[in-house]
Structure 1
């Protein structure tokens, strides 16, 4: 990883929730606010604290080259936005896109032959607890990859994949994954209600159970499989529940179908 002090200039395109979350992580990690420029024609509430901290804001692409160009806009506006950004890039710049569904070839067509990293973060990045899958095209050198790693790691873990198509698989697993966990919390609460628990109590129990189990996985050196076995007494209550969830048509089979469906849709979108 590169030190923030080694990154001279960053141009962030898009100051929405994800872009602002990344910028907050950069500043918290030691980036000098004067080195960051945010380009957003309609800055919203998420951007205001950054502007108060001294981050420069422009409505259009500024003049001069940048070390890193970070694209955090909606995919449907990239066709209009990217061509105007080509002048800020040179052979030492790195482009980092967190826009879903747009492949490297699409960005190369609009920006030219540059070092490009395509990344897929997930929504916990907004609280610094995300994970990002990343792919680097062959033009990304060691320093450019180190810069990208530093910028992406400011919102959580970074996992690099060797093939671009694997970004679609990452999308199916971790990009869309928070929604699966939220659905699990909903389902747990609804199950508690059906047993007779007060709905608000059931939801509090479900939220804390999901959040606590996630934190335990992060802090523990044990695998999820070991943690599951540790909490499962023979012939106990958890074992009775797991007989249902681990059946041939249970949770594993459903999750495999769900992740594959999301990955397939990501592939379809990248071809649009």
Structure 2
């Protein structure tokens, strides 16, 4: 794992796309003073999202035509399906800038075909980066200097731990686990709250207990050296309520099989998003 809280970074950054993930990253960078708002240019075609970015003090643009001629870092916070159409417009920055893409499945090779000879880093953050509790996986392409990689790591470390992998296909696996993973847990909270209401708990209390339970279990797992399996066994008394419940979840490894199918579906979809397919 790599990552430090950055000091203010010099240079100009272009953020392409300012939807939920882009805005979460941008807010964190500015709040932490990792970037000066006046050095950040945001490209966002949707009026409300562009205006939201401008309220943070950034220079907001409807499209790339009005961007300045110089940039040190260009971050693509676009959906994978938009990359082929949007990325080539930033080819003019290839000689000077390092490019970072957070688009799932779009490979270094894909990006090279869109940008020409460029220095590219792929990153896969998740939504918890909005509160500094996320995880980001990074993989640098050829030609990326250590100083550039360290700057990118420092920026993403604002949102939580950053992990560098040495093989690009591992990004697809990381996408299936940490990139998409928050949605799995949000759905688990939904299901837990529904079950709580069916057992008679009031609606708001049901949802609060579901959130607090998942949050508390995760915090405990992070703050102890014990593996999750050991923690599970510690709270499972023989012939108790937890054992009765776990007999359903673990019976025939049904939950494990479901999680395997779930993450495999995300993994396969990430691989299929490559622009070369």
Q: Same fold (TM over 0.5)?
A: yes
Structure-1 separation of matches of 2:157 and 2:47? 24
Counterpart contact for 2:53–2:60, Cα < 8 Å = no
1:161 has 2:140 as partner: no
Counterpart of 2:78 in structure 1 is: 73
CA deviations 1:169-220 (Å, max 9, x no partner) are 1111111111211221122223333434344433332222112222333334
Structure-2 separation of matches of 1:120 and 1:197? 38
Counterpart of 2:32 in structure 1 is: 29
Compute the displacement of 1:97 (Å): 0.6
CA deviations 1:226-254 (Å, max 9, x no partner) are 32233222332212222222233332222
1:57 has 2:60 as partner: yes
Counterpart of 1:258 in structure 2 is: 262
Q: Scaled by the length of structure 2, what TM-score is found? A: 0.87
Unmatched segments (≥5 aa) in structure 1: none
Counterpart of 1:90 in structure 2 is: 95
The count of residues paired between Structure 1 and Structure 2 equals: 270
Compute the displacement of 1:221 (Å): 4.0
Counterpart of 2:16 in structure 1 is: 13
Q: SS where residue 44 of structure 1 aligns? A: helix
Q: Scaled by the length of structure 1, what TM-score is found? A: 0.89
Counterpart of 1:222 in structure 2 is: 226
Counterpart of 1:123 in structure 2 is: 127
CA deviations 1:97-123 (Å, max 9, x no partner) are 112232111111111122111122222
Compute the displacement of 1:124 (Å): 2.0
Compute the displacement of 1:64 (Å): 2.2
Compute the displacement of 1:149 (Å): 0.6
Structure of higher RCO (CA pairs closer than 8 Å, 6+ residues apart): 2
